[in-house]
């Protein structure tokens, strides 16, 4: 199969590349075509260096507002995340969120108090109302892969597998009309 790839290229909705089949995975920026249901959910994380703690597995913390985790990385680095705040605000991490993330780490192990903050960062997660991933076929040439929400890294392999299955089916012209598609989906 021949696939053209373009890196660092902005693609706008009114100038989509011409292709037999397009797989659109632009995250939250597909909102204009996926309807008002698709939204961004702000998440903030801290990356710290904290030697001497030796956590070897991710730890989940109970927090009244969002599930927080501390994920150990190489060389005594830890990622502490993540807040979950309605809105597509990409501004820098708020003081309250920074306090919550860092206090959570400090409450888990006092040695985090001597750690060093390497980075505080913000991003938005593409999210549909049911928080479940969705493959949306426009019935003509565009397949949109959406709503990985909080679990994008974790569920990406499964979503990719399902996408490949659907793409293979769509390349079979019998599946391209709505009856063929429904038959394929029911099979
Ligand atoms: C703070 C935070 C912590 C997280 N922690 C975890 C975690 O621990 N485990 C986990 O499984 N998931 C985690 N996630 C969720 C995960 O990051 C998302 O589910 C995942 O990134 C969504 O992937 P995506 O490819 O759909 O969208 P995105 O990651 O948003 O990727 C979309 C891509 O499309 C590009 N793009 C957008 N518009 C255009 C355009 N017009 N033209 C060309 N390119 C465009 C963007 O530059 C981007 O590269 C976290 C998210 C956040 C914000």
Per-residue pLDDT of the chain (187 residues; tens, 9 = 90+): 677 777 898 988 888 888 888 888 888 666 656 666 788 899 999 999 999 999 999 999 887 888 899 999 999 999 999 999 998 899 999 999 999 999 999 999 999 999 999 999 999 998 888 888 988 888 888 888 988 888 888 899 999 999 999 888 888 776 767 777 777 777 7
pLDDT, residue 80, reads 97
- Domain co-membership, 50 together with 119: yes
Q: Which residues line ligand 1 (CB under 6 A)?
A: 10-12, 25-29, 43-45, 81-82, 123, 125-126, 148-154
Let me know if residue 172 belongs to a domain: yes
pLDDT, residue 158, reads 95
* Residue among 150, 155, 117 at smallest CA distance from 135: 155
Domain boundary, last residue among 99, 127, 155: 127
Task: Please report the beta strands in 33-174, taking only residues with DSSP state E, as ranges in sequence order.
Answer: 39-49, 59-61, 68-72, 77-81, 85-86, 116-127, 134-137, 142-146
Token pair in block for residue 77: 């680095």
The residue whose CA is least distant from atom 21 of ligand 1 is: 152
- Name the residue of 11, 14, 26, 120 to mutate for ligand 1: max ligand atoms within 8 A of Cβ: 26
pLDDT, residue 19, reads 83
- Domain co-membership, 84 together with 142: no
Let me know if residue 3 belongs to a domain: no
- Domain co-membership, 76 together with 119: yes
Token pair in block for residue 164: 């490949």
Domain boundary, last residue among 127, 145, 177: 127
Token pair in block for residue 20: 């037999």
- Domain co-membership, 44 together with 122: yes
Token pair in block for residue 156: 């990406």
- Domain co-membership, 66 together with 81: yes
Omega before 135 within 30 of 0, i.e. cis: no
- Domain co-membership, 43 together with 33: no
Residues 6+ apart with CB under 8 A from 68: 60, 61, 80, 81, 82, 100, 101, 104
Number of domains in the chain: 2
The residue whose CA is least distant from atom 24 of ligand 1 is: 27
- Domain co-membership, 63 together with 105: yes
- Domain co-membership, 34 together with 48: no
The residue whose CA is least distant from atom 31 of ligand 1 is: 27
- Domain co-membership, 116 together with 137: no
Distance 174 CA to ligand 1 centre (A): 33
Domain that holds residue 154: 13-38+130-186
- The predicted model scores a pTM of 0.81
Let me know if residue 168 belongs to a domain: yes
């Amino acid at each position: 199969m021949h696939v053209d790839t373009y890196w660092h290229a902005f693609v706008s909705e009114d100038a989509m590349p011409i292709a037999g089949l397009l797989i659109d995975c632009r995250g939250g920026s597909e909102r204009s075509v996926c309807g008002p249901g698709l939204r961004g959910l702000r998440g903030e994380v801290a990356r710290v260096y904290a030697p001497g703690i030796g956590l070897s597995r991710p730890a989940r913390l109970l927090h009244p507002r969002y599930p927080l985790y501390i994920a150990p990385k190489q060389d005594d680095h830890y990622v502490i995340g993540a807040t979950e705040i309605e809105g597509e605000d990409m501004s820098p991490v708020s003081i309250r969120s920074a306090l919550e993330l860092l206090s959570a780490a400090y409450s888990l192990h006092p040695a985090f108090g001597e750690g060093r903050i390497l980075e505080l960062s913000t991003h938005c997660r593409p999210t549909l109302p049911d928080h479940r991933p969705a493959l949306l076929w426009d019935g003509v040439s565009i397949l949109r892969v959406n709503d990985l929400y909080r679990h994008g890294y974790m569920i990406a392999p499964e979503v990719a597998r399902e996408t490949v299955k659907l793409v293979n089916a769509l390349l079979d012209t019998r599946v391209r009309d709505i009856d063929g598609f429904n038959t394929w989906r029911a099979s």
